[in-house]
Structure 1
Amino acid sequence: MFLQATMKHNRKLIDAAIELHQEGLISPNTYVLDVDTVRKNAEALAREAKKQNIELLFMTKQIGRNELISKAIVEAGIEKAVAVDPWEALTLHRQGIKIGHVGHLVQIPKYMIRTILEVNPDYVTVFSYENAKNISEIALEIGKKQKIFLRIAESGDFLYDGQKGGFTLKQLYEDIDKLIKLSGVEIAGLTSFPCLLIEDSQAKTTPNVLSMQKAKTFLEEKGFKDLEMNMPSATSTATMKLLRESGATQGEPGHALTGTTPLHVSGEFPEKPAMVYVSEVSHLYEKKAYVFGGGFYPRSRMERALVAPDKNTIKSVDVIENDPSNIDYYGTLDTTDVSIGDTVIYAFRTQIFVTNAHLAVVGSLETSPELLGIYDSTGNKVR
């Protein structure tokens, strides 16, 4: 999906990935991330956010909760992270990353609430009064008042399967007086997901935004002021103006940090591609080449891959996407004009934390390329 943009804007990353694989320094099923390009992307995002008066909280699930990359993002000016789930929050906290938001896509399990509150997140999202009550009770026990976001999920809003839940407007109207009485929490804002979608190379708001706006008006009538409007999904330099115009006070860039939102296929935005996936030709069978898998992603929309015995001999070949109902032991190339052991390079949209891939961080590609570390898909250093 991003192969052409990567060839045009970050060819040195492709060359470095091929060399690392051919030298045996990385194995197939490894994502290679260019920390310097991520840093530049984060700097561009931070500049635009300041211009639009939007606070950014960076997402790390798609880059495997990686410590080196996270610290580069912080250095670039985005100081706090959003954790997709409580386990990510704990990993980032151990790395010394400040947690701005947790609990949105994945609620905090009851017996993890104390542990999560003790890492001092700025905001915790709740889907229900019961969840807010549980958080309030633990917050009081440890002597704090936790700011919470209410997740708005009105009937008819755009919600992905596997991510459904939150307050309908009717439920909010019914529960608000009970929520206000919880002395261990403070309703600090609203959130939903996704608030933006990319269709036909254009960013558009979802119905969720209107639902958030209606909920905000209701809360303001109840006396709430200065509510945060957290509007994640597809946050980038190209979409922040739309977010601000929609009432957002916060965005949560993830794929923009690696130049891999659907808008970035062209490569003609400040954020440049910073990630490739490395595999190796395993075998040939019935006019197809099979490459080692484990890190493919069902929504990747791959079309082409590069095959190379070395960085000076590269060919582009067609990809046959895997059936997402099967385990990706191998990927498939629609060719036999390759050799076993050749390096294979992909560039696609992914979520590393749900794969069993490794992640190699590289730097100084413009001068003297350096392998800075190899990590597993959930942020642990391998070597």
Structure 2
Amino acid sequence: MFLDLLIRRNPQFVEAAISLHQQGKIPANAYVLDLDKVERNARTFSQAASKLGLTTFAMTKQVGRHSGFCQAVMRGGINRSVAVDMPCAVACDRAGLKIGHLGHLVQVPRHEADFAASNLRPDFWTVFSDTKAQEAASAAERAGREQSLMARIQTEGDTFYRGHEGGFEASDIVDVADRLEGLTGGRFAGITTFPALLFDQDTRKVRPTPNLVTLNKAAEALAQAGRSEIEINAPGTTSSAVLSALAEAGATQVEPGNGLHGTTPLHAVEDLPEDPAVLYLSEVSHHHGGKAYCFGGGLYIDPVFPKYQVQALVSSIPTVQRSARRNVEIPDYSAIDYYAMIDAEGETAPVPGDTVVFGFRGQAFVTRAMVVGIRGVEDGNPQVTTIENGFGDQVNWPGAFAQ
């Protein structure tokens, strides 16, 4: 879905990735990042958010918590992350991107609360229940600090991805705030939900979910109870194009993820300020049954769009020519993606060793793919920075830094 966008708006990046792969410096099965573009995107976003008084926390899971991504985001003016889980928090903290928000979407496990409170020291910690609030507050007390707690709220009719459900009943928010405020080691800081915005397939626009109305009503109830100075965290499908709408809806915190590398659903249908800065790279392995098989491992295509004909650019030389594009069959999600199958018809059929470039909205942290940072694309001197796994650990890949 994003291959057209990549080729049109960042062709040098595509050509650089092919060249570096052909030199043996990028492994097959790798998410590749244009770190200079990430820095630019972060700067664009952070400046727009600052003008609206919004606090920005960067989401890094989609690109495997890559340390170079974290550092590029910081150079762009975003100095805090939102950690989707504890491995995410540890990787971001290690890269120097401190934790602005922890516990949302994934709650902190009980026996990891002390580490989170004393070592990660998040600015905000989201809790779904009194039990998790007590764990967070007690851990903060043992660490000699007071923790700002965010209450995840929900009510009937709110939108959740299956498996994301949970939170306090929104109509009880005043009592919830009082209970959290009364915890030794904790204080009530605000409310959150997910998703506050979603891409609408029919209108091809980003629309508010019922959850955003739930946040507004809860904020009004809190204000009537004397709690007007609260944080309202409203993540989901976040690019600089939606910041004004979020600010008008009362949000105080925003959390771009795909927006920082130009792959929100809206980026696929409109030209937004952020440039595409990520691609997935593979390599042709062998032929069978009239198909060229390329290595998989990272072929998790985030299903924000209905199923569509996936295409890839296949070549042994740096190019973005349409003649190099081929249809690809991706294994169903019920199968392990050892390979994908490329149309191999015609005189210029793919051969083993050819580079395969995909443009899709990925989730690197749920795959077994590597994540590779590149700098210097626009200067004409692209160089690999680090190759890491989905936990942000550096991998000394064979040939990665060969001269």
User: TM above 0.5, one fold?
Assistant: yes
Work out whether 1:374 is the aligned partner of 2:387: yes
Cα displacement string for residues 274-321 of structure 1 (whole angstroms, at most 9, x for unaligned residues): 111111112222222221000011425662110102114761111223
Q: Which amino acid aligns with 1:110?
A: R
Matches of 2:2 and 2:272 in 1, distance apart?
Answer: 13
Match of 2:223 in 1: 220
Instruction: Find the residue that maps to 2:273 and give its secondary structure.
Output: coil
Aligned to 1:338: 350
Partner of 1:307: 314
Answer yes or no: is the 8 Å Cα contact 1:132–1:179 preserved in 2: yes
Long gaps (5+) in structure 2: 397-403
Partner Cα separation in structure 2 for residue 261 and residue 267 of structure 1: 10
How far apart are the structure 2 equivalents of 1:224 and 1:84? Answer: 27
Alignment of 1:129-148 (within 5 A): 129-148=130-149
Shift of 1:23: 1.4
- Cα distance, 1:322 vs structure 2: 2.2
Change (3 A) 1:299 1:69: closer
TM-aligned CA deviation for residue 8 of structure 1: 0.9
Contact 2:171 2:218 in 1 (8 A): no
Query: What's the secondary structure of 2:241's corresponding residue?
Result: coil
Shift of residue 223, structure 1, vs aligned partner:
2.2
1:68 pairs with 2:47: no
Counterpart of 2:260, as a letter, is L
Query: Equivalent residue of 2:87, what SS?
Result: helix
2:182 — aligned with what? 181
Q: Secondary structure at the match of 2:16?
A: helix
Report matched runs for 1:124-203 at 5 Å: 124-172=125-173, 175-199=176-200, 200-203=203-206
Count of equivalent residues: 383
SS in 2 for 1:152: strand
Alpha-carbon contact 1:318-1:335 (below 8 Å) kept:
no
RMSD of Structure 2 on Structure 1 (CA): 1.6
C-alpha distance after superposition, 1:338-366 (max 9, x if no partner): 22221110011011111111111111112
AA aligned to 1:377 is G
Q: How far apart are the structure 1 equivalents of 2:46 and 2:180? A: 34
Tell me if the contact between 1:5 and 1:266 (Cα under 8 Å) persists in the aligned partners.
Answer: no
Deviates more, 1:346-355 or 1:132-141: 132-141
Where does 1:220-299 land on structure 2 (aligned, <5 Å)? 220-266=223-269, 268-299=271-302
Q: How far is the alpha carbon of 1:141 from its aligned partner? A: 2.2
Task: Say whether the 8 Å CA contact 1:31–1:278 is kept in structure 2.
Answer: yes
The equivalent of 2:400 in structure 1 is none
Identity between Structure 1 and Structure 2 (%): 40
The CA distance in 2 between the partners of 1:84 and 1:195, in whole Å, is 16
Partner of 1:178, secondary structure, is: helix
Distance 1:26 1:176, change over 3 A: closer
Question: Which structure 1 residue ranges, 4+ long, deviate > 6 Å from structure 2?
Answer: none
* Partners of 2:219 and 2:131 in 1: CA distance: 21
Question: How many angstroms does 1:143 deviate by?
Answer: 1.9
- Tell me, yes or no, if the aligned pair for 1:5 and 1:267 is still in contact at 8 Å: no
**Which deviates more, 266-275 or 155-164?**
266-275
Counterpart amino acid of 2:312?
A
Shift, 1:172, TM fit? 3.7
The code of the aligned residue for 1:212 comes to L
Cα separation, 1, equivalents of 2:279 and 2:153: 35
Alpha-carbon separation, structure 1, partners of 2:150 and 2:176: 14
Counterpart-to-counterpart distance in 2, 1:65 and 1:224: 35
Deviation per residue, 1:141-187 (Å, 9 max, x gap): 22211001000121220001121111122454664543332132111
CA contact (8 A) 2:375 2:384 kept: yes
Moved more, 5-14 or 215-224: 215-224
